């Protein structure tokens, strides 16, 4: 079975006034299908750049990246993805229901499937009662949840999440964990970046830690973190070293 994500020798460099900025340097990483994978690192480590390459938004300077055996620039790879950005924004003049309907049409889903998926996701995200309100009236947490629903409208094989619990209260974070667990049970792959290390520790099978564009640790949380130590302490010590 081909990896859900396969990154080989990936490098990304940007020109700047003071010289070349190496956002990623020779990153090699493989994520197996059905895995919940935590992608960690301090600000500026290269996490967002990696995600942008996976989404086809950023061209690599060297190396390759593929999704389920297809280059990230291929349409067939993008059809398998659901994505929630770190600071999700949406069409505030639409209602929640209209946003999900619009997203479903972008994936060319049949009308009956869009209606069914929309009802299911509104229920799962706790937004059924707010479905016909304009998104402009939503709180930050509600916007996060409707954008999570949008990312799931096509029932993606790979869900890429950038800080998925940002702006959510403890109940909202619990609901996101439940949604991730439900997709894992269905055989989906979840790849997410987060600074909420307690959430990562609860949800992830494996993690990778980036620092200054380089991979410095990768493996199961249980293998990397010494007994009696928290993931947060391990992360701080590893990045600091």
- Please report whether residue 144 resides in a domain: no
The CATH number assigned to the domain holding 221 equals 3.40.50.300
Smallest CA-to-CA distance from 168 within 208, 199, 204, 122 is with 199
Mean pLDDT for the chain overall: 91
**Cα Rg for the chain, rounded, in angstroms?**
18
pLDDT value at 158 more than 90: yes
Please give the biggest Cα pair distance in the chain. Answer: 55
| Domain assignment present for 99 | no
Percent of the chain at pLDDT > 70 equals: 99
pLDDT at 83 over 80: yes
Measured distance between the N- and C-terminal CA atoms of the chain, rounded to whole angstroms: 36
Distance, C-alpha 156 to centroid of its chain: 12
Let me know if residue 8 belongs to a domain.
yes
Would residue 124 count as lying in a domain? no
The structure tokens 């049949």 sit at: 110
Res 98: pLDDT = 97
Query: Which pTM was predicted?
Result: 0.91
Domain tally, the chain: 1
Its domain, for residue 5, covers 1-80+191-241
pLDDT in tens, 86-119: 777 778 899 999 999 999 999 999 999 999 999 9
Q: Is residue 175 part of a domain?
A: no
Q: What is the DSSP string of 41-74?
A: --TTSSHHHHHHHHTTSS--SEEEEEETTEETTS
Residue 147 lies in a domain: no
Residue 134 lies in a domain: no
pLDDT of 84 over the 80 cut? yes
**Position 182 in a domain:** no
Q: Would you state the pLDDT for residue 3?
A: 94
CB atoms within 10 A of CB 143: 19
21-193-154 Cα angle (round to 5): 115
Helices marked H in the chain — which ranges?
A: 47-54, 75-78, 96-106, 111-124, 140-152, 170-185, 197-203, 221-224, 231-240
């Amino acid at each position: 079975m081909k990896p859900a994500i396969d990154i080989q020798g990936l490098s990304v460099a940007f020109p700047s006034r003071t010289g070349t900025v190496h956002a990623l340097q020779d990153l090699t990483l493989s994520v197996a299908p059905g895995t919940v994978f935590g992608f960690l690192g301090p600000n500026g480590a290269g996490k967002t750049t990696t995600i942008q390459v996976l989404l086809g938004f950023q061209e690599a300077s060297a190396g390759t990246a593929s999704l389920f055996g297809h280059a990230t620039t291929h349409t067939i790879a993008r059809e398998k993805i659901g994505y929630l950005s770190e600071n999700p924004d949406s069409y505030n003049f639409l209602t929640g229901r209209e946003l999900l309907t619009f997203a479903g049409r972008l994936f060319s889903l049949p009308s009956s499937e869009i209606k069914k998926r929309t009802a299911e996701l509104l229920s799962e995200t706790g937004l059924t009662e707010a479905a016909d309100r304009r998104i402009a009236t939503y709180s930050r947490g509600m916007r996060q949840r409707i954008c999570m629903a949008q990312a799931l409208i096509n029932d993606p094989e790979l869900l890429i999440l950038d800080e998925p619990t940002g702006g959510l209260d403890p109940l909202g974070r619990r609901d996101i964990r439940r949604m991730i667990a439900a997709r894992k049970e269905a055989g989906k792959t979840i790849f997410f970046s987060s600074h909420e290390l307690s959430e990562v520790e609860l949800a992830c099978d494996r993690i990778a830690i980036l620092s200054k564009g380089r991979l410095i640790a990768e493996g199961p949380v249980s293998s990397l973190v010494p007994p009696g130590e928290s993931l947060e302490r391990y992360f701080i010590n590893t990045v600091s070293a």
